[in-house]
Copies of this chain bind each other. A is one copy, B any other.
Amino acid sequence: MYPVSTDEVRAILQAAARVGAPIVPFGAGSSLEGHVNAVEGGISIDFARMNRVLRLSVEDLDVTVEAGITHRELNKALANTGVHFWVDPGADATIGGMAATGASGTTTVRYGTMRETVRGLTVVLADGRLIRTGGRARKSSAGYDLTRLFIGSEGTLGVITEITLRVYGHPEAVSAAICAFDSLEGAVQTVITTIQLGIPVARIELLDEVMVDAVNRFSNLTHAVKPTLLFEFHGTSQAGVSEHATSVQEIAAEHGGANFEWATTTEDRARLWRARHNTLPASRAMRPGCHCWVTDVCVPISQLAECILETKRDLQASKAFAPLVGHVGDGNFHLNFVLDRDDPAEFNEVKALNHRLVQRAIAMGGTCTGEHGIGMGKIDVLEEEHGEAVEVMKAIKQALDPENRMNPGKILRL
């Protein structure tokens, strides 16, 4: 169904409650963990027609939107207002979907995830009741934090219909750079030192040599085929940005990073970031006709080099092809396994590699998913990662959705 307002969503949920129908919210369909699959049938609520900006306050740096607007549509609407919404998961996901999965992305190291970005939600519950969580104040200690409970709940506790978001002014000065390293450890140590010193990077992304090769071929580029960091700096003046950029260049040089290439104009930056933006199609293009399976572990950054190196050894002992890209400032990286899904041997090998990767990340104090969510694919590893806490999640689910009609089959095995 295609509601045009929160009231219509309420009417749908009230009707569904009467007949006992499951509810599956649908945004842009860009989720990677099967979140929008109607495994028990029921009603799909498509938010395509709820894509309005409801209000904006430039003074308070916040905006309220309907769940179906995508982040690119939102930023188009914000053009010429002086403010920008910064969470960017790559795909042009809807804000409702991003809230529901606790999304983040390349700018999270500076601007946070959806958890730090959402100030309040309008949610329709399983029985059709409407609640408003949070508010417009920058902080509050008024009762349980329902806002963050619904963020990342993947539609299993209720349907998010409206979201109040924090926005930021456009930075006065922006600079970007790319730098190749002799070793992966050197690249990761550069990241650790940069963050430890409090140098405010806005983006800091790692591509391994396999990914650089894929991107070079896909976009006809000539980057050195080595572990590579991409940086972006945002600041209130060119002098400030230059100071930070120079500091990072010095840190990189100490760890085997050379040939810094700078970009300060919008065009140069776009050219530099093309490498990052095309990682998914570039990965796929290495094996035409194949599919991509994207992993999503996140570990403490002190463990990041070891986690990646162990994983690469594991990959080398296999036949799998998996270029790597990571939001390394947060300790989060993705392998883009490119595989023939119809080849059971290949599929099982990738499955086993991914399983070992997740085990490795959890053993290092990390998580099976930094930003994609649990969906259908990671229900078992959620239990490995959180143990008894999953029982608390189930108790909350039972309290808010006793008939298990809200996006059933996701996050929890009931």
Contacts and interface: CB of A to CB of B under 8 A. Distances in A.
B366 A135 contact: yes
A374 to B, nearest CB: 6
A192 interface: yes
A387 B131 contact: yes
Interface in A356-414: 365-374, 378, 382, 385-393, 395-396, 398-400, 411-412
A141 B412 CA distance: 14
Contact of A140 (B131, B370, B393): B370
Interface stretch (A238-246, A256-264, A342-350): A238-246
Contacts of A131: 386-389, 391-392
State the oligomeric state as a number of copies: 2
A39 interface: no
Contacts of A140: 102, 298, 367, 369-370
Contacts of A300: 57, 59-60, 62, 136-138
Interface stretch (A194-202, A222-230, A318-326): A194-202
A203 interface: no
A136 B366 contact: yes
A402 to B, nearest CB: 10
Interface string A106-127: 0010001101100000000100
Interface stretch (A11-19, A142-150, A212-220): A142-150
A143 B392 CA distance: 11
A386 B243 contact: no
Contacts of A390: 143
Interface centre among A103, A198, A331, A389 (most CB of B within 10 A): A389
B400 A367 contact: no
A341 to B, nearest CB: 24
Contact of A144 (B59, B149, B237, B385): B149
A102 B136 contact: no
Given A60-B302, A148-B148, A197-B236, A399 B395 contact: yes
Contact of A386 (B125, B132, B331, B387): B132
Nearest to A297: B137
Nearest to A372: B141
A299 interface: yes
A390 B129 CA distance: 12
B374 A102 contact: no
A101 interface: yes
Contacts of A101: 141
Given A144-B149, A300-B136, A369-B140, A396 B393 contact: no
Give the most central of A135, A247, A369: most B CB within 10 Å: A135
A400 B395 contact: yes
A146 B59 contact: no
Contacts of A389: 131-133, 143, 146
A345 to B, nearest CB: 30
A301 to B, nearest CB: 6
A171 B198 contact: yes
Nearest to A116: B116
Contacts of A136: 300, 365-366
Contacts of A388: 129-131
21 contacts: A57-B302, A59-B192, A59-B196, A82-B196, A104-B139, A112-B116, A115-B148, A130-B388, A132-B387, A140-B369, A141-B152, A143-B374, A143-B382, A144-B153, A145-B151, A168-B198, A169-B198, A237-B243, A239-B239, A392-B400, A395-B400
Interface of A: 57-62, 82, 101-104, 108, 112-113, 115-116, 125, 129-133, 135-146, 148-149, 151-153, 157, 168-169, 171-172, 192, 195-200, 234, 236-237, 239-240, 243-244, 247, 296, 298-302, 330-332, 365-374, 378, 382, 385-393, 395-396, 398-400, 411-412
